[in-house]
Every structure is written in C-alpha cells, then in structure tokens.
Amino acid sequence: MDHSHSHRERQEVVGIIGGGISGLLACKYLKSKGFDPIVFEAHTTIGGVWSKVSLTTFLQTPKPIYSFSDYPWPSSSSSSSECPSQLQVMEYVMGYAHHFNLLKHIKFNSLVQGIEYDGPEDEEERKSWDFWGGNGEPFRSKAKWKVLVKDTINDSTQRKPITKVNNFALNHMDSRQEVVVGIIGGGISGLLACKYLKSKGFDPIVFEAHSTIGGVWSKVSLTTFLQTPKPIYSFSDYPWPSSSSECPSQLQVMEYVMGYAHHFDLLKHIKFNSLVQGIEYDGPEDEGEMKSWDLWGGNGEPFRANAKWKVLVKNTINDSSEVRRFSDVANIPEFEEKKGPEVFKGKVMHSMEFTSMDDQTAAEFVKGKNVTVVGFLKSAIDIAMQCSQVNGDKYPCKVLYKTAHWSIPDFVPWGIPLALLYFNRFSELLVHKPGQSFFHTLIATTLSPLRWAFSKIVESYVKRKQRLAKFGMVPKHSFLSDLSASTIFVTPEKFYDRVEEGSIILKKSPSFWFDEEGVVVEGESTPLNTDLVIFATGYKSDHKLRDIFVSPTFQNLIMGSPDAALPLYRECINPEIPQLAVIGFSESFSNLFTSEMRCRWIAEFLSGTFKLPSIKEMKKDVEKWDKYMKEYSGKYYRRSSIAALQIWYYDQLCKDMGWNPRRKKGLFAELFEPYGPLDYSSN
C-alpha cells in the first residue's frame, strides 16, 4: 500500500483488517477525511462477532450507550426490547454500513495472513528514531506495509478452486456433490436456488457482483417499504421475526433475508464481488446439431456427459473496469436527432443511478433543483416523494407520464381483503387460463360479469380514497389489467397530499423531447423548467438476460420473437438451451413466493424426480401462456407476469413434482381461502 502524502488530494490507501464494528468505524471516518480505505474481511458478511453468535444472543450493554453517535437505533428495535437481539444488532450494523456507503470499500473472503513493513531503512536504523515513523508524520515517503491476503473461497482446501474462467462440469455422477451448479446473483431468487439445490446434495456456487446479498433490496432507499402483504411475501420455512411491522421497511427486509441466509448456512456458498460477464456452452456437439434435438439437452436429462458451461467472472474490486457492462439495462426512450438528452444543458440519469446513492447523498443531490421524473410506476413515485420532501413547493418535482396506473392505498378495499378477490381458486375461475379444459372455459365466460364487478369494487375504492378524479389520474384500463401485468403498487402515504399542496406536479404527455433549457411536452410551447431529469422507466430485463450469453445463437434463443413473451417453459426452462434455468425473470404479485416454488421445481427436476416433455410439447405450452399474457397484460406481455393466475401456475409445478396441488382442507377452504407460502411448506 503506497502512502505517498499529498496536501492537495489524499491518495493514501489505508488497510483495515476486519469488517466488524471497529473496522466499519475506521472505514467511515477515514473515508470522511478523504483517504481510500480497504477493509479486509475474512468472512462473507460484516458485523464481526455479531455475525457469528447465536440468534438467541441479546445485547448486554444499555442501548443508549451501545450506539453510533451519528446513526440512531431504528425505532423498530426499541419497540421490541431495550436489549436488541442478534438479528436487530445485525440490522443496525448493516444499516450503518449502507447509510455511509461503506460496503464498496470491503473486500470479503479476504483473510489477512501476515503483514510486513517495507521501508527505506533497516530495523537497526529504526531503533534510533526519536519520533514515531522517524519524522513524527503519519506517513513516510517510500514506506508501506505489504499485506498477504488469502481468498478464502478461491484458495481453500475445502472448496474447488475457481479461476477467472470457470468450467462448471454438470455431468450427472453418482454423487451429486460432484455436480457444481453456478447461480448468478445473490438476491432472493439466488438464495432460494442455493438453499434448495444444497438440500438435494448439489454443490451450489453463487456469483454476486456486489458485496452483500439481497439483490434489489440492498440498493433501494431506506424509506422503501414492502409492497406485498407480509404473509404472502415470506419464505415457506422461515417466518418473519415478530418485531417486524405489517409493511416492513428496507432494513427489516434485509434483516429477514440475512437471517434466512444465516439460518440455512448459505453465505459460505456465495462468491461476493464476482461479476459474471458471460457464459458459454461447451458441449460435444455444435450448435447446428443441437437444432435437431427432440428432447431438452439432446437426451431429456438434466445433465449431459462432457457438457458444461464456461463462466467468465470478474472481481469487481481488483478489476473495476466496465463493472456495469452486464448489469441492469436501463430502459431509456429513443429520441429524434437533436431532440435527445445530448442537447440538454442539465443532468439526465436513470433511476438505477439515483437509487444507488445513499439517502443523504441523494437529498443533497436534488436539493434546490427543478427535478422532472419520467414514469409512473413504483420507482418514479418514490423518487418524486424524496424530491418533494427535500424541496417542498419551492422547487416542485414534476412527474411526466404517458399512462396512469392503478395504485392502491392499502390491501382492504371497502374492508374486503384483496386476497379474497384475487388470490384464491374461485377468483382464478373467472379468468381464462392457458391449457384450460372446456369446463374451465365455460365457467370463465359465464362468470365474466363477476370478474368485471371485482375490478369495479377495487377501482371505486381507490378512486374515492385517493381522489383520483380530482387530479385526472383515473386509469382508462381495469384494475385486473394492471394486476395481470404486475404494474400495480402501493401508493406512498400522503402522495396525493403532496400533489394537492403543489410539491409534486403530475403532467400527462403522450410524447416529449429535450431542448437546451429543459423538457418540451407535446402540445406545449414553453419547455418545463428543469435542472435534472430522472428516467424511472424501468429496465430491459430481457436484454440483460440476452447479454449474459457469449453465443449469438443462444442470445436469439433466449429472446425469442419480439412479438411474444420470452420462450420459457414453466417460466424457467428455454426448450432449446441445455443445462440452464431462469428463475427471477417472470413477475408475480409476490416474487419471493413464486421464486421459491420455481427453485423447488428446478431442484426436483435436477435430482431426477420428473422429466421434461419433448421440445415440441414445451414450445406448445409456451405458446399457450404467450396467448394468455397478451390477452390480460396487453402491451406488458414481455414482463411474463403470472400475478392473476398464481395458483393455476403453482398447480402445474406441483403436478410435475408429484405433489397434490390441492393444499387446503375442505371444498370451501379450497375455493375461497387465499393461498400463500405456508400452504406449500411441505410436499
């Protein structure tokens, strides 16, 4: 580490051994003084001793004394006990690290084995010094410490070594521990895949590009809350802690996810700061021969002899160039020449860049600026709320949108739980389903007036509760359409109060473009006075999936036709791409719940419980689901949402795995009780 001292701009790299509380504090304060700290943490998470003690351990020091001076304990911990539990302490420490953006400075799985001083003088000369370091200064010219660091995953006698290009041999051997399964991403879907594959005896390795688990939950603002009822958004075998609120905060969700990973001992399988840049199939046959296959992978089995995927992995700390090349792909509208962001004098960014900031940085960034947010789904509304809280009506945040969507203030319209209207078997009888029998077609057609009535019940409640007509925000489509496309969200508290007071301005525009001064809305001569434009227009998830493949053939296969939903059988398996599954692409009302069911299905398939049908039959099934998605989701069919048919979808998975799809006791319960994760807690 070169500690050459500069008075103008500090370039000193300061090594910190250990990512416990002392290490985090050292990192935070050194960072605040302009140094470049690197924290070497031997394990896969921060927290030091608190990450290793039992979940039944409680804080032994009065909480007011055991606290950071500039980061108070969250109110959720005080409501449960003055002596926080291990999970609550970990939540607090994790929150501190996120708040001050410390995780990017931590090198996980890095065990310091020794340090050696390397200076221009020998040890005898140093004995004669009158001042510390010879000059009484913090740093000495040409003096540094050499730090010997061991990667506890790559260099371990208990794990398989992984080089930059990893050959994951997926041969079906007698011992499943010989089969290494690579998992891309340490979000909720990745953790679930790891847990269920591990339970079946496989050897999972999770490649996580960042320094923590949690996926999108590790990146969103601390003011973000869960948008799904907690009983639905839960693991089937790991309940929410009693201290969590009915609408858990970002910190509480992270605590829950971290607790799950610790409980099932998943962290040791995760390779942090490991960005997968590409995957390439390496099999005994060429791509032309693969087109003639009748069965998935050529033999209908999960694995093929001498076939594997090569995975190109980059360490995001040691090699930080082009880190985002295969990260989320922003969905930015296209503009005519000289009408795009390049002519605008202000700043233009996508929401993923904005939400990557910590709350304090984001607040300072928008303070005193005229902000225009483009979009009207969850991320757009959250950003608008943040801006209005900072700037008030002096610098109102403008929200530019094409289509108004249904957002709900709560989950009990007119006192009726939403789950009774949309998440039981009876509600799904009202919807035409892919692969349905004549009886189901007749029932769905006959009961279509009831389907219309259910939508009107919810719509009338939302319109009245949120005064949508007053603000011109009544959508032209039905509530069922937004539910089917997974485009509904929970309205932030007091959002429309902010609209009424003028700190948020809603402006509908079929199209717009840029000029030097701001944003020009179609039909208006004066541009919107704007300093900053934030595109909260979502992501091109299909492009992100495509770009991970090296082969253009596989890129085309995974994308399918642009006029159809992605060709994934059971929303997991592309019929023409062997030894690969996709878990987290298709959306639902509870992505956690759905991902868990898919991971269990994949684990059962890989362990030989069932076989896939022929490629031809799988393609026919994919076409049926594509027809359903176009009918109910409209222009959002590429999202592949199953939100309005979750139980029907889970029935298909259960039948494949040999489970009884009927999970309730009695006909009435089977028809009218909402289905949730606990209904699938056992086979």
Position 296 confidence tier, pLDDT thresholds 50, 70, 90: very high
What is the tens place of the pLDDT at every residue in 476-507?
999 999 999 999 999 998 999 999 999 999 99
Average pLDDT of the chain? 86
Q: How far apart are CA 641 and CA 483, in angstroms?
A: 9
Counted residue by residue, the chain has a size of 683
**Cβ contact 418:411 at 8 Å:** yes
Residues 6+ apart with CB under 8 A from 74: 91, 92, 95, 249, 251
pLDDT at position 189 = 95
pLDDT over 80 (residue 173):
no
Kindly report the number of other CB atoms within 10 A of residue 479's CB atom: 25
**Cβ contact 629:481 at 8 Å:** no
Where do we find the tokens 């006192």?
Answer: 415
For the whole model, what pTM was predicted? 0.76
Q: How far apart are CA 134 and CA 128, in angstroms?
A: 9
pLDDT at position 542 = 87
Q: Which helix (H) or strand (E) is 420 found in, with range?
A: helix 418-422
Q: How far apart are CA 398 and CA 560, in angstroms?
A: 37
> Rounded to the nearest 5°, which phi and psi values hold at 145?
-110, 135
The shares of helix, strand and coil residues in the chain, as percent rounded to the nearest 5, are: 40, 15, 45
**Cβ contact 203:177 at 8 Å:** yes
pLDDT over 60 (residue 158):
no
Residues 6+ apart with CB under 8 A from 431: 444, 451, 632, 644, 645
pLDDT over 90 (residue 85):
no
The four Cα atoms 102, 104, 108, 110 give a dihedral, to 10 degrees, of: -100
Q: How far apart are CA 429 and CA 668, in angstroms?
A: 14
- One of 3.30.200.20, 3.50.50.60, 3.40.50.300, 3.30.70.2170 is the CATH number of 180-324+541-680, namely 3.50.50.60
pLDDT at position 581 = 96
pLDDT at position 567 = 96
Position 161 confidence tier, pLDDT thresholds 50, 70, 90: very low
Q: How far apart are CA 70 and CA 84, in angstroms?
A: 19
Same fold across 13-122+144-151 and 180-324+541-680: yes
**Cβ contact 207:190 at 8 Å:** no
**Cβ contact 379:373 at 8 Å:** no
pLDDT over 50 (residue 555):
yes
Position 622 confidence tier, pLDDT thresholds 50, 70, 90: very high
pLDDT at position 107 = 86
Percent of the chain with pLDDT over 70: 91
What is the third-level CATH fold of 13-122+144-151?
Answer: FAD/NAD(P)-binding domain (3.50.50)
Percent of the chain with pLDDT over 90: 55
Strand pairing class (347-350; 532-535): parallel
Of the ranges 76-80, 547-551, 634-638, which one carries the lowest mean pLDDT score? 76-80
Residue 284, CB-side half-sphere exposure with 13 Å CA sphere: 9
More reliable by pLDDT, 142 or 420: 420
pLDDT over 90 (residue 568):
yes
Q: Is residue 328 classed exposed, middle or buried when 0-12, 13-18 and 19+ CB atoms within 10 A define those classes?
A: middle
pLDDT at position 219 = 78
pLDDT at position 306 = 84
Q: What residue spans define the domains of the chain? A: 13-122+144-151, 180-324+541-680
Determine if residue 16 is left, alpha or beta; phi over 0 gives left, psi from -120 to 50 gives alpha, anything else beta.
beta
Strand pairing class (144-151; 165-169): unpaired
Position 1 confidence tier, pLDDT thresholds 50, 70, 90: very low
Position 153 confidence tier, pLDDT thresholds 50, 70, 90: low
Strand pairing class (274-282; 308-315): antiparallel
pLDDT at position 217 = 87
pLDDT over 90 (residue 196):
yes
The conformation of residue 209, written as its DSSP 8-state character, comes to S
Q: How far apart are CA 642 and CA 651, in angstroms?
A: 13
**Cβ contact 537:374 at 8 Å:** yes
Q: How far apart are CA 541 and CA 522, in angstroms?
A: 29
Tell me what the mean pLDDT of segment 222-236 comes to.
Answer: 85
Identity (one letter) of the amino acid at 175?
A: S
Q: How far apart are CA 152 and CA 108, in angstroms?
A: 9
pLDDT over 90 (residue 11):
no
pLDDT at position 55 = 60
Position 450 confidence tier, pLDDT thresholds 50, 70, 90: very high
Helices (H), 200-301: 250-263, 287-290
Position 142 confidence tier, pLDDT thresholds 50, 70, 90: confident
Strand pairing class (110-118; 144-151): antiparallel
Strand pairing class (518-521; 528-529): antiparallel
pLDDT at position 249 = 85
What is the tens place of the pLDDT at every residue in 330-369?
788 889 888 899 999 999 999 888 887 877 888 999 999 9
Strand pairing class (270-271; 203-207): parallel
Position 175 confidence tier, pLDDT thresholds 50, 70, 90: very low
Position 318 confidence tier, pLDDT thresholds 50, 70, 90: low
3-state DSSP call for residue 468? helix
The conformation of residue 430, written as its DSSP 8-state character, comes to T
More reliable by pLDDT, 513 or 84: 513
Q: How far apart are CA 113 and CA 111, in angstroms?
A: 6
Q: How far apart are CA 496 and CA 483, in angstroms?
A: 21
What is the tens place of the pLDDT at every residue in 253-278?
888 998 899 889 898 899 888 899 99
pLDDT over 50 (residue 617):
yes
